Amino acid sequence: MFNPTDTNPPDQLINARLPRWLLASDWPTKNGQPELADIHIANGLIVNIQPSIKPSTNANTPSWDVAGALVLPALVDAHTHLDKTFTLRRMGAVEPGLLGAIAAMMQDRSNWTPLDVEQRATQALQWAYEAGVNHLRTHCDWWEAEATPIAWDVLGELADAWRDKLVLERVSLMPLHLFADSSTAAALAAKIAASGPCARLGGFVHTTNWNAQALRHLLEAAAHHGLNVDLHMDEELNPSACGLATTAALVKDMAFAGHVVCGHNCALSAQDESKALATLDAVAQANITLVTLPMTNLLLQDAVTGKTPKLRGITLVKEAKARGINVLMASDNVQDPFCHVGSYDPLEAFAAGVLAGQLEAPFDVWSESLCRADWLRGGPAAPPLQPGSAADLLIFKNSSAWSFPSRTHERVVLRKGQVISRKESTL
Ligand SMILES: [Zn+2]
């Protein structure tokens, strides 16, 4: 039986309720629900996953009977800002909205010493690791063409220091105007390419800095250096924002060989439906991955002092998924001027997304948006928990497929079959 205090690694996890998206199409069901699963583990790796109805357990094999508890693969936090995190506590009043947050952040930059960034980012990584994250992508503000920001190198060192615990990817978050000149764009891409295999080229695309030529230069420079791209895209409710549509057209026009991720895409929700859906059709064709960031969108979009917001800002996630577009959900900012809440538990952002997007079947369908690291790199699908992959698992004893993600704070996190974190009520 599953003993909450047992820290010995099991070789079998039996009677686990896995999400439907992870199971084969011919997985047996009972009363409309997937049958429970037995997960066989050896040397920290998945051996196979079988329906529990086929007696496959060996009484002599160390087992945990999780008695129908929900089980997920390790979590992916596809979009964070470790350079900015935990800065809110030292700031004064911050104007509401995205541009007010940017102004506050620029004032705080003078405090960003290597030690300051390292301490704040380390706290974030520790929280993420304990929450069950094994892959985290962070953006890093990069304001000038000539100077590499302090945080870029600090985050690179942290990626090395944490490589046994999680994959830490860095994306350069550069204003689009830095790419207006093609030679500057090329030089920036060369710097990112020289930063190692976990570095991505990024940019901030918004109607306030719109420059289609600069966006083309960014993609051309990335292609030249074999870089994947991750863009802050149309993070606004201005229906004239056309960054996503232009990116999809450029990817097709250039036959861009790398992979593109676009975060936010809030403007889609404010556009005429036929225009927004045409953009999504193009995004699907271009194999662009979308990342939705519900917490910051809910806080920053339609934000006016003294007024209750009426618009949600979340992008068209259902329409995107219906077109086969890979949609990830992530934390974004945590405890900084952009978002005062957050905990590096992707399920916190997920809970906001389920409500804001009125998402059906959160566990069986949408939990996939928290678990697909392969969607960050394009290429062939590589779902988690295949035979031979690490037994990186989360067990939620107190939640259910109907109430998920409620009561998921309590969880046991296994990494390569070993317990690395255990959050449980002592009552
Ligand atoms: Zn962001």
Is there a contact between 229 and 218 (Cβ–Cβ < 8 Å)? yes
What integer is the mean pLDDT of 158-171? 97
If you measure from the C-alpha of residue 21 to the centroid of ligand 1, how many angstroms do you get, rounded to a whole number? Answer: 27
Is there a contact between 357 and 317 (Cβ–Cβ < 8 Å)? yes
If you measure from the C-alpha of residue 177 to the centroid of ligand 1, how many angstroms do you get, rounded to a whole number? Answer: 18
Q: Where are the alpha helices (DSSP H) in 132-231?
A: 150-161, 182-193, 212-225
Token output for 144:
């000038």
If you measure from the C-alpha of residue 166 to the centroid of ligand 1, how many angstroms do you get, rounded to a whole number? Answer: 20
pLDDT at 319 over 80: yes
Tokens 């969108």, residue located: 297
If you measure from the C-alpha of residue 67 to the centroid of ligand 1, how many angstroms do you get, rounded to a whole number? Answer: 39
pLDDT at 1 over 50: no
If you measure from the C-alpha of residue 332 to the centroid of ligand 1, how many angstroms do you get, rounded to a whole number? Answer: 5
Mean pLDDT estimate for the chain: 93
Is there a contact between 396 and 410 (Cβ–Cβ < 8 Å)? yes
In this predicted structure, what is the pLDDT of residue 128?
98
In this predicted structure, what is the pLDDT of residue 58?
62
pLDDT at 54 over 80: no
User: Omega before 405 cis (within 30°)?
Assistant: yes
If you measure from the C-alpha of residue 282 to the centroid of ligand 1, how many angstroms do you get, rounded to a whole number? Answer: 23
Give ∠ CA 101-104-109 in degrees, rounded to 5: 125
User: Which region among 19-23, 54-58, 190-194, 357-361 has the lowest average model confidence (pLDDT)?
Assistant: 54-58
In this predicted structure, what is the pLDDT of residue 425?
67
What integer is the mean pLDDT of 14-32? 95
Residue 66 to residue 51: CA distance in whole angstroms: 14
Catalytic residues: 235
Residue 6 to residue 284: CA distance in whole angstroms: 46
If you measure from the C-alpha of residue 289 to the centroid of ligand 1, how many angstroms do you get, rounded to a whole number? Answer: 15
If you measure from the C-alpha of residue 297 to the centroid of ligand 1, how many angstroms do you get, rounded to a whole number? Answer: 10
In this predicted structure, what is the pLDDT of residue 8?
67
Residue 63 to residue 215: CA distance in whole angstroms: 53
Token output for 321:
């998924």
- Note the pLDDT tens digit of each residue in 72-94: 999 999 999 999 999 999 998 88
Helix (H) or strand (E) holding 254: helix 243-254
- Note the pLDDT tens digit of each residue in 227-275: 999 999 999 999 999 999 999 999 999 999 999 999 999 999 999 999 9
If you measure from the C-alpha of residue 333 to the centroid of ligand 1, how many angstroms do you get, rounded to a whole number? Answer: 6
If you measure from the C-alpha of residue 310 to the centroid of ligand 1, how many angstroms do you get, rounded to a whole number? Answer: 22
- Note the pLDDT tens digit of each residue in 127-145: 999 999 999 999 999 999 9
Query: Taking the C-alpha atoms of 400, 406, 407 and 413 in order, what is their torsion angle to the nearest 10 degrees?
Result: 80
- Note the pLDDT tens digit of each residue in 118-130: 999 999 999 999 9
If you measure from the C-alpha of residue 342 to the centroid of ligand 1, how many angstroms do you get, rounded to a whole number? Answer: 13
Higher per-residue pLDDT: 7 or 87:
87
CA atoms within 13 A on the CB side of 81: 25
If you measure from the C-alpha of residue 308 to the centroid of ligand 1, how many angstroms do you get, rounded to a whole number? Answer: 23
In this predicted structure, what is the pLDDT of residue 277?
98
